Structure 1
Amino acid sequence: MEARLNLFGTSIAPQFGKHLNAAGRVVMDSTLPGTIQHLVEIRASQINGCGFCVDMHTKEAARAGETSVRLNLVAAWREATVFTEAERAALELAEQGTRLADTPGAVTDEAWANAAKHFDEEQLAALVAAIAVINAYNRLNVMVRQPAGDYEPGQFD
C-alpha cells in the first residue's frame, strides 16, 4: 500500500507535528510507567486499525524490554494471565476512551474508578493524555494510509 499523502512533507506538518510530538513527549516524561504507555499505544492502534502505529509501538515496546508473549496477547488482554491489574485497568480505559463514538459517554464510572485505584492523579492525567495522543496519531495515519512494516526502532528518537 502506498500512502495517499506525505503529511509530514507538507507545510502544515512541521508546526502540527511539533506540537503533537511535544504532547507525546509530556506523556513520555511523566511518571506513568513506560510499560503502560506502550500497552495503551498498541491497544488503541489495534482498535483503530493503524498498522503503522501497531508496527512502531510493538517494536519500541520490544526495544524497551517487553516480551513477545505479552505483545502477542495485547489484543486478548482480558483472557491473558500475563498482565497486572494496573495494566488491565489502563487497557480498559484505553479501549473505552478509543471507542467513544461507539457508545457516547463510553468511559464508565467503573473503568475510571478502577484506573484511579492504580494510578495517582498525575499518572491518571498522563494516561488520559496518552490515549488522546495515540488516537490522534492513529487517525492521521489511517486517513493517509501510512503503510506499515518498515518502521525501525529508534527512528524518531
Structure 2
Amino acid sequence: MEARLSPHGTPLLGKVLPHLIAANKAVAESGVPAATQELVKIRASQINGCGACLDMHTKEAAAAGETQHRLLMVAAWREAKAFTEPERAALELTEAGTRLADGSGVPDDVWQNAAKHYDEEQLLALVMLIGVINFFNRMNVMTRQPAGDYQVGMLH
C-alpha cells in the first residue's frame, strides 16, 4: 500500500504533533491504567480500520506485558472473560465515543457504567484519549498510512 501523502516531517504536523503528544502524556498520567489506555487505542483503531495505529498499539501493549490472548480478544471483548469490569466499561465508552456518527451518541447507561469505575478526572482522560486516537486513526486512514514498520518506542 502506498501512502497518499506523508504527514510526518511536514511543517504543519511539526506544529500540531507536540500538542497531541502533550495531550497523550497528560492522559498517561491521569490514573487510568496504562493497559486500559492501550486497550482503548486498540479498540478504536479496530473500529476505524487503522492498521498503522493497530500496528503501533498492539506492539506497545505487548512490550508493556500485555498478553497475546487479551490482544487477540479486544475485538470480541463483550464475549471475552479476559477483561476486568473497569476495562470493559472503558471499551464500551470507546465504542460509543468512536461511533458517534451512528446517531446514538454516548448513551447514559454507558457513561454511568464508566463513572462507576473511574473518577471525573479519569473519565475526562478517557474522553480525551478516545478523541486523540480517533484523530490519529482518521489522519492515517485518510492518507493511507501503511502498517507493519512500527518499532516499539519509535515515538517516545
TM-score, normalised with respect to structure 2: 0.97
Determine helix, strand or coil for the equivalent of 1:12.
helix
Superposition map of 1:91-102 within 5 A = 91-102=91-102
Q: Quote the residue 1:123 is aligned against.
A: 122
Structure 1 residue 9, shift from structure 2 partner: 2.4
Aligned 1:130-145 pairs, distance under 5 A: 130-145=129-144
Structure 1 gap segments, 5+ residues each: none
Contact 1:60 1:154 in 2 (8 A): yes
Matched with 1:108 is 107
Query: Partner amino acid for 2:49?
Result: G
2:21 and 2:141 map into 1 onto residues whose CA distance is 18
CA distance in 2, matches of 1:87, 1:71: 13
Partner residue in 2 for 1:82:
82
Gaps in structure 2 of 5+ consecutive residues: none
Q: The residue matched to 1:54 in structure 2 has which SS?
A: helix
Query: How much does 1:156 deviate?
Result: 0.8
Q: How does 1:1-157 map to 2 (within 5 A)?
A: 1-103=1-103, 105-157=104-156
Contact (CA 8 Å) 1:28, 1:34: kept in 2 or not?
yes
Query: Among the aligned pairs, what percent are the same residue?
Result: 63
Range with greater deviation from structure 2 (50-59 or 8-17): 8-17
Q: Give the paired residue count.
A: 156
1:117 partner amino acid: K
For the 8 Å contact 1:8–1:17, the answer to whether it is kept is no
List structure 1 segments (4+ residues) > 6 angstroms apart after TM superposition: none
Residue 43 of structure 1 contacts residue 75 of structure 1 at CA under 8 Å; is this kept in 2?
yes
Per-residue Cα deviation, 1:84-140 (whole angstroms, up to 9, x for no partner) = 11000000000000000012x420000000000000111111111110110011011
Distance 1:14 1:82 in 2: 39
The SS at the match of 2:66 is: coil
